Amino acid sequence: MFLTELVTNPVAAVFFLVSIILAVDVHEFCHAKAADVLGDPTPESMGRLTLNPLAHLDPFGSLLFLFIGFGWGKPVPFDPYNLENPRRDAGIIACAGPASNFVMAIAAALLLAVSPVPLLDIFLSTFIWINIVLGIFNLLPISPLDGFKIFGGILPEEQADQWYSLERYGMIFLLFFIFPFVGGRSMLEVLISPVIRFLVSLLIPQPATLF
């Protein structure tokens, strides 16, 4: 659906793709920066402590954005043995990505409120939408999404160990949720679309869109 709309509307396609690249790039960079601040040099040694989008875009996750409107970037590796409190700090590192998306969405909304240029309004609206989607999607407690490690970081140690034992099944659960079952819509879309629409409506009272 998204791909068809983008093919028929080149301007929307440019805004959509630029928004994805910026949102994913900053999201993954913030993971890397958080790990670096917490004492782990792994992201820097692997070339991830950079704003170069080529270091952060995941081919499969980017394609999903085009086809279903949800997706992800390339996970930032870190070594928990370099962290002072591995479970807590892993949760902080995981939080950094979605937090950056919500900050960017709010910043774009502030610019949108004073923008005198209609075309800029459309780009900012698209950018807000992409960041809200990326932020909410990544908060889901399913590995490899950020929410899995965030949830693990707040659980008591014994329960956290049990929780992390489910990590190996994460991709199976994720594929199940993004597969279109419900009237051509995925269970994921059915569950989180209302939340996304609500948050976007708070930031964009009168949406400007090319679609």
Digit-coded pLDDT (tens) for 65-87:
777 666 778 889 999 999 999 99
Is residue 41 reached through a cis peptide bond, with omega within 30 degrees of 0 on the bond before it? no
Q: Can you tell me the distance from the alpha carbon of 131 to that of 139, in angstroms, rounded to the nearest whole number?
A: 12
Domain residue spans of the chain: 2-203
Question: For the residues 88-97, what does the mean pLDDT come to?
Answer: 96
- Phi, psi (degrees; rounded to nearest 5) at 107: -60, -40
> How high is the pLDDT of residue 6?
62
Q: Which of 28, 84, 158, 167 is catalytic?
A: 28
Cα–Cα distance measured from residue 129 to residue 192, given in angstroms and rounded to the nearest whole number: 13
28 is catalytic: yes
Written as one letter, the residue type at 26 is: V
d(CA 5, CA 9): 6
Under a CB-based contact definition with an 8 Å cutoff, are residues 58 and 93 in contact? Answer: no
Q: According to the model, what pLDDT value does residue 182 have?
A: 59
Taking the model in full, what pTM does it have? 0.88
**Phi, psi angle pair for 8, to nearest 5°:** -85, -5
Q: How far apart are CA 193 and CA 49, in angstroms?
A: 32
Task: Look at residue 11 in the predicted model and tell me its pLDDT.
Answer: 82
Residue 1: pLDDT band with limits 50, 70, 90: very low
Residue 9 has pLDDT above 70, yes or no: yes
